A and B are shown apart, each in its own frame.
Chain A
Amino acid sequence: MLKINNLHVHYGGIHALRGISLEVPKNKIITLIGANGAGKSTTLRSICGLVPKTDGTIVFEGEDITSLKTTEIVKRGVTLVPEGRHVFPDLTVLENLKLGAYLRTDKSEINKDINRVYELFPRLKERKDQLAGTLSGGEQQMLAIGRALMSRPRLLMMDEPSLGLAPLIVQDVFKIIQQIHNEGMTILLIEQNASAALQIADYGYVLETGSIVLEGTGKELLNNQEVKKAYLGQS
């Protein structure tokens, strides 16, 4: 579905991505793990067209989207749940969800999707008129995911959905990710919580200072000695 070939990104003088190649097949959960500054977020942001690319190609469903603008990329069905949630704090939950469908014009379908999101997250329905800034961290993350679903993505990219959440809530979030996946969504997931991510992932890539050093199925990586040592805190 998504194919990245030899992607290079520079931030000023820093060579943040040094030739990354990866593939996201349809209906799979793919995860990118790695330490801070390894280039995980940069990868997602460059897929979305939020970061200028120096070299390489990104192909989504057979179409080269490397140089498209973010708006065009979102239109084609690639949506990002940004790191740190980034809900719109002074807008209500409902307005936040409607903004997720900003590029869509099919009003009746949008209302259907809002109800679908409410089914997935009953909490959001209870709080639909509340300002998003007053929600708890977990609720905000659910809103961010719900908002992303409102654009009817075909590829959902999540940047650290467990960031800053209580362990119990983290479990909930991962359950929801799996549930969305079971409904047929393709997901590209970035996590620092490597063990949780690898447990639900079909395939994983390990990033280190801008290049992929290891790849394999979720299970393989979970059992890999180096991964255990570096990211899972086991030896």
Chain B
Amino acid sequence: MKKKTITSLLIILAVIICLIIAQRTLDSFSLRILNLSGVYIIFAVSMNLINGFTGQLTLGHAGFIAVGAYTYSLLIMDSDLKQMNFFLKPLISPLDTLQLGFFPAMIIAGLLAALTGFLVGAPALRLRGDYLAIATLGFGEIIRIIFTNTQSITNGSLGLKGIPKPDNFFFIKMDNSLMWWIWVAAIITVVFHLLLIDSSYGRAFKAIREDEKAAQAMGVSLFKHKVMAMVISSFFAGIGGALLASLIGTIDPLMFRFTLTYNILLIVVIGGMGSTSGATISAIVVTVLMEALRFLDQGFLGLPELPGLRMVVFAILLLIVVLFYPKGIMGNEELTWSKLRRLFGKPFAAKEVNR
């Protein structure tokens, strides 16, 4: 157990060192992709909690992300900026003058998303399987449509522009403080989920996924745990939404369509339903590929410009994963040293005395 803690701390340290190096060497475009990967890690790991670990197929993640993104944006913008944005219909008070710091705005964004998760989950989680998927998909769309139509709160389809980035990281002024916020949030998300899954709550979540009848007979309250997973999942989705809004700087309701949920689901399925490390790895791979494959859209090998061609690659990738790795790259297991050793063969194994 203690060895596990030490290795975990070492991994976190390694990530931080990589980030420091990245910050010094990478150009702003690559840094942006790096940050986007961090945000997608938060999305994928949180969605995996309810879909992968608890086994409840829900498709409303984009809605919770939207709640987080809008809450954060409305709390962080100053009143001048708000006036500039809301030129068609003024923003209702007290939101028009309210301004908070980065950290409280982000936490409130998470909490409001969690509340939304509760309001959606409490009725929807009484359903199962396909019905649950369709109901949550519907709720996600409803959230987006409400945001499109509440002009005096969200500025409707005009969206919000010029969302400021944080200029400090816990009161330390830094050039790239957003990167640190995003990655610290991502690390906390991953560690929190790993610990949660290892706890008795995590076992209860998995028990529900495996066999609801038996879980119930063991005294696991199905409804309570499903809603709990949903609330935690949407809290982190909200935090991720806040960071996404801060990173991109402009949000509008069209960003939070079903395609966003689909992209996250793609990451989760490729990574392995029920594997936090799988979701983490696949979030980075997919986000980087999404940018790296952009040349496909711009026309290559004499082909005409075809926007969206790179998405075909992901469709094929998903097909391959479903056909050959039906459980995703990690299945429902976590990445451990012993597995890495097996993967890289004997030269490493020789050095290890025991686990």
Contact = CB atoms under 8 A, between A and B. Distances in A.
Interface stretch (A11-19, A96-104, A186-194): A96-104
Nearest to A69: B221
Given A91-B203, A91-B206, A95-B203, A75 B214 contact: no
A79 B217 contact: yes
A89 B210 contact: yes
Contacts of B221: 69-71
Interface in A103-128: 103
Given A98-B200, A102-B200, A88 B217 contact: no
Say which size band chain A's interface belongs to. 20 to 34
Contacts of A87: 211, 214
Given A86-B211, A88-B211, A98-B200, A50 B217 contact: yes
Nearest to B210: A88
B206 A102 contact: no
Contact of A102 (B210, B211, B219): B219
Interface in A53-94: 69-71, 73-75, 79-82, 86-91
B214 to A, nearest CB: 4
B332 to A, nearest CB: 6
B89 interface: no
B204 interface: yes
Say which size band chain B's interface belongs to. 10 to 19
B218 interface: yes
Contact of A74 (B204, B206, B210, B218): B218
A151 interface: yes
Nearest to A132: B210
B338 to A, nearest CB: 12
A40 interface: no
Contacts of A70: 216-217, 219, 221
Interface string A198-226: 00000000000000000000000000000
B216 A99 contact: no
A102 B218 contact: yes
Contacts of B203: 91, 95, 98-99, 102
A137 to B, nearest CB: 16
Contacts of B200: 98, 102
A80 to B, nearest CB: 5
Nearest to A75: B219
B207 to A, nearest CB: 5
B207 A88 contact: yes
Contacts of A8: none
B122 interface: no
A99 B207 contact: yes
Contacts of B207: 88, 91, 99, 102
Interface of B: 200, 203-204, 206-207, 209-211, 213-221, 332
